A and B are shown apart, each in its own frame.
Chain A
Amino acid sequence: MSTHLPARGGDTEQVSSPRPGGATGGSGLLLLPQPKPWRQRASRLDVTLSPYLYIAPFFILFLVIGMFPLGYTAWVSVHDWSLLGGKGEFVGLDNYRKVLDNPYFTKQLVNTISIFVISSIPQILVALALAGLLDTQLRGRTTWRMSILLPFVVSPVAVAIIFGSLYGDRYGLVNEVLGMVGIDPVAWHTNRLASHVAIATMVNWRWTGYNALIFLAAMQAVPRDLYESASIDGASRVRQFTSITVPMIRPTMIFIIITSTIGGLQIFAEPRLFDGTTARNGGSDRQFGTITMLIYDFGWQLRDLGRASATAWLLFLVICVFAVVNFLLIRRLGAQGGER
């Protein structure tokens, strides 16, 4: 996506730079009266400096609020650093070792991934199907589109409270309804898998419509004549969907999967508010504790910023690995789909 721009920038620079006083470039020089030397210089300065002036505010702010924290987290993570006492001794990778040795790290990492997988796979499949439904000649298109986007404006905290009231282990609506059809009550806050499913439904409710709209946009960009020729060849609609639509929107799928990975692996509000225990670490046995909750636990409940920072960096590494794996996986799947 970014490849063509530097190339184009380079070309233009080569063309324009040899010209004397060619800051304004091109034919302007022939038409305009010859500018005075100081104006030329000012104009050239304008051209060379302006871009930097435009990006400078962003980069300066970004350096402070984006890059500095990144490096500083690493710095904190190799020190003994308590919340109240501040910086202590340099301890090398000790904090990382402590975090990795803590059984909760592995457990909460697995939880995070599990919640992510349970939420994202059905979410993407349903969003695809929903986009397929919307990619028809509907009456009142915008109304339908808006109706499925509604959950997106409800904050995760509100979603967690609302769904939390449905998923009571003993007195919740979901278990009551299950009871009516003869299913035993599910221990939503105790059973590890059940708690992941409960949290995944919160995520899915909020995001499915949003992702469906993105898919829909991609679907509408697919050239319509592809379908026409497929229809002439006698391909069914479902077949058209799987062999034309899905491969054609592959880049969008990659985009959605990568962004939902970044977001999904940081999940915090939903599991924290879902937890009814006072410690709020994600259930009595951390059945649904996530990595971000562990960062909060280490940093602000156990008051150890060193371990919190180490955990944050480990989370970052996990996200990178996931992003790359997803990317490769989707590219392969997509390529196979395209061959069919």
Chain B
Amino acid sequence: MQTSKTLKTRRVRLASSALMALTLACTAAACGGGSDSDGSSADGPTTISVATFNEFGYEDLIDEWNASNDDIQIKQVKVGTWDDAKANLYTKLAAGSGLSDIEAIEGDAMPAIMAESDAFVDLSDPDLDGRWLDWKAAAGTNADGQVIGYGTDVGPESICYRADLFKKAGLPTDRAEVATLMGTWDDYFAAGDEFVAAMPDTAWYDSSGGLAQAMLNQVANPFEADDATVDVENPELEAVYADVTDNVKRGLSSRIPQWSDDWTAQFSNDGFATMACPGWMMGIIEGNSEGVDGWDIANVFPGGGGNWGGSFLTVPAQGDHVEAAQEVAAWLTAPEQQAKAFAAVGAFPSQLEAQDSPEVNEAVNAFFNDAPIGEITAERAAAITVQPFKGPKYSDILSAFQAAILRVDDGSQDPGDSWDQFLTDVDALG
């Protein structure tokens, strides 16, 4: 017994020293790489971390900056969804440490972030006046006139569609003809009825939640009145809810939650034929559709224009290098850079100058059947007539609303019950 114990001990000691060595090796590797060390040493470059979610199209831009700047290096920190980024953002805001030097904020959440203005650096810079669309600049500025966020992109909505599936269903495939099918939401749904009658195994659109969000972007006061009091029992919201939940019965919805594993998988499995398509969505479609041919984009959005998303870059005050961070944020959101981000992932610039630049205007996307995406997106941006009022609770209520639609979508509740539960959830936001 004694010998076997000694033997065991020796083995464990061996194991632990092996692990120890591995730890040291990893630590050394992480430090030696240089790119992972946060902050700056006395003589080394300052590293500015930029936390993004989804796809910002910054990879090449960061390489470009890092190649030409020795004293400041940029490191991107990618988080998956905005919801995850948001939870992390608030947690680290409360903790007072742990945020990146630059944090990207989803446009819908800016009003809530404004309530925490103290935690962010005022980025006001007279040189940058007039860089952005007026409404975009306004959305990044708080009531005291402090600039909390620099706008990155906007999300003018069009309709992306699978021309190959349209053909199979006997619908027109040319993008101009497709546009004529979708002037209003009723037209769009009617075309959907026709499509699913011919192709019962394929849904008309990708997810009810995504469609609802697209429609909400045409409502002036979706969840809150102009004085920011919560008002979710308004007729416009109820109409969107009714439309979307009725479509579930009509078979138009894929009945899959947006951004879920199944949602991703349906891109490769002919799961649906159309989707609401803000500029930044093009990169996501392309990324998820490896091996799929037939995507195209129509210069139309039912019921007029609409803006979905588009983000901001903010500089949390807790960072160690706020000035360098502001410099980097200003550079990343400069027209030339955002024009390149548009080319990379379709994120449509919120900068006037970028929108007018030939790189954007004349952009053509090979994946979308050589569609003139610059021209289309610019026209979709011009068609935007309504900027919905978004108060501090918008983002949280939207999550509850999406869940309500999903409950009907996946069949776990009927529309009435799900609506009631939505009202309870909104109350619980406190």
Complex contacts, A303 vs chain B, CB 8 Å: 90, 94
**Separation in Å of the B427 CB from the closest CB of chain A?**
10
Interface centre among A164, A169, A276, A278 (most CB of B within 10 A): A278
Complex contacts, B421 vs chain A, CB 8 Å: 103, 285
Tell me the complex Cα distance, A280–B406, Å: 13
| A84 lies within 8 A of B269 (CB) | no
| A170 lies within 8 A of B87 (CB) | no
Tell me the complex Cα distance, A84–B117, Å: 12
Tell me the complex Cα distance, A304–B428, Å: 11
Complex contacts, A189 vs chain B, CB 8 Å: 257, 260, 410
A83 on the interface (CB 8 Å rule)? yes
| A279 lies within 8 A of B265 (CB) | no
**A168 touching B261 in the complex, CB below 8 Å, given contacts A280-B83, A301-B87:** yes
| A284 lies within 8 A of B409 (CB) | yes
**Separation in Å of the B58 CB from the closest CB of chain A?**
22
Smallest CB-CB A-B distances: 3 pairs = A276-B260, A284-B406, A171-B265
A residues 144-173 near B (Cβ < 8 Å) are: 164-165, 168-171
Q: Identify A279's interface contact among B90, B262, B402, CB under 8 A.
A: B402
Residues of B that sit less than 8 Å from A by CB: 81-84, 87, 90-91, 93-94, 116, 256-263, 265-266, 269, 271, 396, 399, 402-403, 406-407, 409-413, 418, 421, 424, 428-430
| A302 lies within 8 A of B428 (CB) | yes
**Separation in Å of the B12 CB from the closest CB of chain A?**
15
Q: Identify A300's interface contact among B82, B91, B424, CB under 8 A.
A: B91
| B265 lies within 8 A of A170 (CB) | yes
Q: Identify B258's interface contact among A102, A169, A278, CB under 8 A.
A: A278
| B87 lies within 8 A of A284 (CB) | no
Tell me the nearest residue of chain A to B412, going by C-beta. A285
Complex contacts, A40 vs chain B, CB 8 Å: none
Complex contacts, B266 vs chain A, CB 8 Å: 170-171
Q: Identify A276's interface contact among B259, B271, B396, CB under 8 A.
A: B259
Complex contacts, A302 vs chain B, CB 8 Å: 396, 428-430
Interface centre among A98, A164, A189, A277 (most CB of B within 10 A): A277
Tell me the complex Cα distance, A165–B260, Å: 11
Complex contacts, A304 vs chain B, CB 8 Å: 430
Bitwise, A71-104 to B at CB < 8 A (1) or not (0) is 0000000000001100000000000001000110
| A83 lies within 8 A of B261 (CB) | no
**Separation in Å of the A278 CB from the closest CB of chain B?**
4
A287 on the interface (CB 8 Å rule)? yes
Complex contacts, B396 vs chain A, CB 8 Å: 302
Tell me the complex Cα distance, A189–B411, Å: 11
**Separation in Å of the A66 CB from the closest CB of chain B?**
21
A residues 170-201 near B (Cβ < 8 Å) are: 170-171, 187, 189-190, 192
Tell me the nearest residue of chain B to A274, going by C-beta. B261
| A168 lies within 8 A of B265 (CB) | yes
| B402 lies within 8 A of A169 (CB) | no
Tell me the complex Cα distance, A235–B411, Å: 54
Tell me the complex Cα distance, A190–B93, Å: 34
| A171 lies within 8 A of B269 (CB) | yes
Bitwise, A270-294 to B at CB < 8 A (1) or not (0) is 0000001111110111010000000
Q: Identify B262's interface contact among A83, A171, A284, CB under 8 A.
A: A171
Complex contacts, A84 vs chain B, CB 8 Å: 90, 93-94, 116
| B406 lies within 8 A of A277 (CB) | yes
Complex contacts, B412 vs chain A, CB 8 Å: 190, 192, 283-285, 287
| A83 lies within 8 A of B94 (CB) | yes
| B116 lies within 8 A of A276 (CB) | no
Tell me the complex Cα distance, A276–B84, Å: 12
| A103 lies within 8 A of B262 (CB) | no
| A278 lies within 8 A of B399 (CB) | yes
| A284 lies within 8 A of B93 (CB) | no
Complex contacts, A301 vs chain B, CB 8 Å: 87
Complex contacts, A285 vs chain B, CB 8 Å: 403, 407, 412-413, 418, 421
